[in-house]
Amino acid sequence: MDYASRLEISYYNTIAAINSAHKIYLVQHRESEKIYIKKILNVYNPHIYEYLMEHHITGIPRLYNVYEENGQLILIEEFISGVSLQEMIDERMLTLDLVIQFMEELCDILEKLHILNPPIIHRDIKPSNIIITPYNHVVLIDFNAAKYLTDTADHDTVLLGTKGYAAPEQYGFGFSTPQTDIYALGILLKEFSFALPVPTSIFDAIIRKCTEMNPSDRMKTVQELKIEIEKLQTRNGKKPQHTTEFATWKNFIPPGFRTKTPWKMLTASTIYLFIFWICLSMEVKDVTVFHLWLERFTVLFMMLSIVFCCFNYRNIHRFIPLCANKYRLIRYIGVLILNFAVASSLLFAMLLLESIF
């Protein structure tokens, strides 16, 4: 790293460690005060990062600085607000419409990489490497395992990728091609199928075609995959109704019952019963019956609102960008702000009603 590069990187102050083990940090530029992500990589292809910095691709974080020194690559890249796709899967926040949208957007991003000369193969597509913005758009991150497809490629000698998502050729059975990313998309689509409110088999044929052992038997391009997914969406002029209708009904199930996990349901039932008992048995002196019940119901709604806000009932976090942030601490701050706003609104409404009546 030359003197100018050292000086430039010194302008970024570390705010917090996002993942110390993987050397990922939240940093702030001292002059502009803008927030960025800093990564220090030990395994990388510098030419890929240099290309992505010079040729920004929509759906990939913008790169601002790339430095190489002592066998490490230091990146300064765009800070993306959102949550990982893995979190959405774990929280059962997916619907069939979102699955189709996310797959289509992933195909669009990968198509821009695969049509390059030579193509760039991501090789590590998985839910934790996909960020969903507050407006439900896909951002593909982490190009540590990415490589160029060259005519001289023989076999992948080192496994770079994630077990379960890595294609057979990444284990030394061949060399990585666009079909390697298509294999990972097939595994991702399979995981989507089980993460929906009602597990579905409508993607099974596509999954089989994407995850063939022999790369030549898989779909040829991500555009072909996108077309097949669009066919499912428009078949017979409508989407599968039983899944979307159930998903809509499931959205109204209160927190604690959405995953049908026994211990969560038991805990939630206990908490809800305790809240109802506390609120509906509270006593207030020197007030009319009307005002007593008004205060009881106000406190009840306030406590339920806090529970619903904390557990993102009806995806309410989308109204507060901080709640959809990828960083846990910032999300907690957003939830506190949301709870304060809801509680204040209910108290104001109660005072207004008391003044009227």
41-69 per-position pLDDT tens digit: 988 888 999 999 999 999 999 999 988 88
| Stretch 166-179: mean pLDDT | 81
Token pair recorded at residue 120: 């760039």
CATH code, domain carrying 74 = 3.30.200.20
Amino acid in the structure at residue 191:
E
| Stretch 228-256: mean pLDDT | 61
Position 151 scores a pLDDT of 43
pLDDT band at 240 (very low <50, low <70, confident <90, very high): very low
User: Is residue 201 packed enough to be buried (19+ CB in 10 Å), middle (13-18) or exposed (0-12)?
Assistant: exposed
Residues 114 and 225 in one domain: yes
The rounded radius of gyration (Å) of the Cα atoms in the chain is 25
Residues 237 and 297 in one domain: no
- The residue ranking higher by pLDDT, 238 or 179, is 179
Residues 172 and 262 in one domain: no
Residue 245 has pLDDT above 50, yes or no: no
Q: Order across the sheet with 83-84: list the strands.
A: 83-84, 130-132, 138-140
| Stretch 157-161: mean pLDDT | 53
Query: Mapping DSSP to helix (H, G, I), strand (E, B) and coil, where does residue 318 land?
Result: helix
Amino acid in the structure at residue 294:
L
Token pair recorded at residue 111: 């198509």
- The residue ranking higher by pLDDT, 240 or 355, is 355
Highest mean pLDDT among 92-96, 221-225, 241-245, 335-339: 221-225
Residues 127 and 232 in one domain: yes
Token pair recorded at residue 309: 């806000």
* 70 dihedral zone (left: phi>0; alpha: psi -120 to 50; beta): left
SS3 content of the chain, % helix, strand, coil (to 5): 50, 15, 35
Domain count within the chain? 3
| Stretch 165-176: mean pLDDT | 78
- Final residue of a structural domain among 33, 56, 78: 78
Residues 65 and 90 in one domain: no
Return the closest-CA partner of residue 150 out of 120, 127, 184: 120
Residues 23 and 112 in one domain: no
- Mean pLDDT over each residue of the chain, to the nearest integer: 83
Token pair recorded at residue 6: 């050292």
* Residue that the structure tokens 């990585």 belong to: 176
Position 223 scores a pLDDT of 93
Amino acid in the structure at residue 189:
L
Residues 223 and 282 in one domain: no
pLDDT band at 181 (very low <50, low <70, confident <90, very high): very high
d(CA 138, CA 274): 40
HSE of 26, CA atoms in CB hemisphere, 13 A: 16
Range of the domain at 327: 254-356
- Final residue of a structural domain among 46, 78, 110: 78
Contact between residue 307 and residue 318 where contact means Cβ atoms under 8 Å apart:
no
Question: How far, in Å, are 12, 45, 158, 284, 351 from residue 71 at the CA level?
Answer: 21, 11, 17, 70, 65
Residues 62 and 165 in one domain: no
Residue 117 has pLDDT above 90, yes or no: no
Residues 208 and 278 in one domain: no
Position 244 scores a pLDDT of 42
| Stretch 196-208: mean pLDDT | 90
Residues 174 and 201 in one domain: yes
CATH code, domain carrying 191 = 1.10.510.10
Q: What are phi and psi of 27, to 5 degrees?
A: -130, 160
Residues 266 and 344 in one domain: yes
Position 2 scores a pLDDT of 59
DSSP states of 74-96: EEEEE---SEEHHHHHHTT---H
Amino acid in the structure at residue 38:
K
| Stretch 325-348: mean pLDDT | 78
Residues 87 and 232 in one domain: yes
- Final residue of a structural domain among 183, 217, 248: 248
